[in-house]
A and B are shown apart, each in its own frame.
Chain A
Amino acid sequence: MTKSLSTTAIRGLLARTIQKSKPKSSSPDIPGSQNANITDTRYQIIKRILYETPKPELPKMTEQDLERHETIDRAWKLFLRNQQEERENELAAKYRMLNEANIELEKLGPRLFNSAQMGNKIMMFPRQMKIPTETPPLNGWNYDYKPPPSDPTKDSKPLPPDSTRDSP
C-alpha cells in the first residue's frame, strides 16, 4: 500500500503541503481549526519520511569488487593506524621531556619549581584564537581590531557579533 518515495517526490510533496497548509486571508469558521490543519499534514509527511522510506538499493558487489573494497578499506585503516601511532609517539616523547625537565627543576630549588607549576591558575584558550580554515576570510585581515578590555571578574555583557569572524 505504501508508495515508494524518492527524494524529489518527497520535496514535491512537502512544497505542495506547505502551500496548501498556509492560512487563507478569509475569516475562519472555527478559531484554531486552521492551525490544526497545518500540523496534521506536515506530521504525516515527516512520519512517512522517517519511517516509511524504502531501503536504498545496496550495490551488488562481485568477487573482484569485494576484493577491491576490502583492499581499500584495509589500506585506509592502515593509514589511520600509522597516523595515530606517529601522533602517539610524538606526544609520548614530548611528555617524557616535560616530565624530566620538571624533575630536574625540582632538584634546582623550591622557588623556581613552585613558580613553574600550574597551582590554582585559571587557564583557558583565548577567545581570539582562530581555528585554521582551508581558505582565508572573506573580509580579509581586520587591521582596526581592538581587543576588548579583559576583566573576567566583572559582570559580562551579551557577546557582541564577532568582528574577527567573517560575515556569512
Chain B
Amino acid sequence: MLSRSKLFLYNRYQFLSAVPRIFNKTFLHTYQKSSPPANLPDSYLFYPGRTSMLRMEEFYHSTLSTDLMILSYKDPESERKFIEKRQKEHLPIKKSVLTRDTNPFAINRPSPKSRGNKKRLPVPPKQCHKTIPKLLKIDVHCMIKEAIHSKQHLLSGIMALQCITSERPTVVYSKTGVAQWKLRKDMPIGCKVSISGPPMYTFLDKLVEIVLPRMKEWHGIPITSGDQNGNIAMGFPASALSLFPDIEGNYDMFPLMTGFDVIFNTTAYTDYEGRMLLSGFQIPFTPRKKMGRKGRTNRN
C-alpha cells in the first residue's frame, strides 16, 4: 500500500520551498519545481521590502492593539457562554441521524443537515494577548459585465486593480450560467486580488485618506455589514475608482471604469469586533441598513 501524503496542495504547481521540508514529505514530481529561496530576487516570492513607513500598521501596533485588547476583553462568564454558543451542535432534520454514535454503518457519512439550515460558525480560542482582532488581508474584486460580449474589457479591470493595489489580479470565471444575461459557465467575468502586509496598509491608507472623504452621497458602511465572523465588506461605484491617485493621473488610459468591492478579512470572531477594528482605522459606519435611498431608518 502506498502511503499517501497528508499535505493538501492547493495548487499543483506550488513551489516546495514555500513550505518547510518537515511538513512536506512528498517526492519531487516532474510538475513541481524547487525554486530559489524567497530572499533572492530570482524568486517570485521575493518582496523587495517596504519602501516607506506604514502609517496604519504603526498606528495599529502603537495605539489600536492595546485599546482593542481592553475593549474586546470579556469576563470569564460571558466568554464561556460565547464559546458554548459557537460549539453548539444544531438538531438535524431527521431524528434517525441522532443514533450516529451507536450505528456502525454511519461512520464516514457526510454531516447531517441541520434544521433551519443553521450553520456552525468557527469556535474562538480562549482570549489572551494573541487573540486581539487584527487586519489579515484585503480582497479587492471587480465584476465586469461587459466581458460577456467582449473579453477585452477585462483588461481594463485588471489594469485598474493592479494600479490600486500594486499586485497582479487573477481572473474570476463564472461558476454557473445565466441565459438571461447571456452568461455561460466557466466564462471569464471578473478579476480579484488579495493583498496583505505593506501593500494592504498602503491601500487602506489611500482609501481612508483620499477616496472615502471624496465620495459623493456616501453615508458609510452599513452597520449590519459582515459575515457573522468578523469580515466586513463594502462596494464602490465606478466613480470611486477615478478618485484613487494612481488612476486619477492616467484617467484617459482606462477605457472602462468599473465598480469594485473590498472585503476586509480580520482575525475577529464577531462582526462587532471587526467593526471596532475598522473604525479604529477611521472607516465610518452608518446606522443605515442598506446603501441608497431604501436604507433610510427614519422616514420624514
Contact = CB atoms under 8 A, between A and B. Distances in A.
Interface of A: 14, 18, 38-39, 42-43, 46-47, 49-50, 58-59, 69-70, 73, 76, 87-88, 91-92, 94-95, 98-99, 102, 106, 113, 117-118, 122-125, 127, 129, 131-134, 152-159, 161-162, 165, 168
Interface string B247-289: 0001011111000000000000000100110011110111110
A87 B134 CA distance: 14
Nearest to A168: B210
Contact of B279 (A117, A124, A158): A124
Given A159-B219, A168-B210, 18 more contacts: A18-B252, A38-B255, A39-B152, A42-B255, A76-B49, A95-B69, A95-B129, A117-B78, A122-B272, A124-B279, A125-B276, A129-B280, A155-B287, A156-B219, A156-B220, A159-B215, A162-B213, A165-B209
B152 A117 contact: no
B155 A43 contact: yes
Nearest to A127: B284
B39 interface: yes
20 contacts: A14-B253, A42-B253, A46-B255, A50-B159, A117-B78, A124-B276, A124-B279, A125-B279, A129-B282, A132-B55, A132-B58, A132-B59, A133-B55, A155-B287, A158-B216, A158-B217, A159-B213, A161-B214, A162-B213, A165-B209
B217 A98 contact: no
Contacts of A91: 65-66, 69, 129, 132
Contacts of A129: 280, 282
A156 B250 CA distance: 35
A155 B129 contact: no
B184 to A, nearest CB: 22
B155 A88 contact: no
Q: By CB atoms of chain A within 10 A, which of B129, B253, B254, B279 has the most?
A: B129
**What class of interface size applies to chain B in its complex with A?**
35 or more
B107 interface: no
Contacts of B285: 124
Nearest to B78: A117
Contacts of A118: 71, 73-74
A92 B210 CA distance: 36
Q: By CB atoms of chain A within 10 A, which of B215, B252, B288 has the most?
A: B252
Interface string B48-70: 01000101101101001111011
A122 B71 CA distance: 10
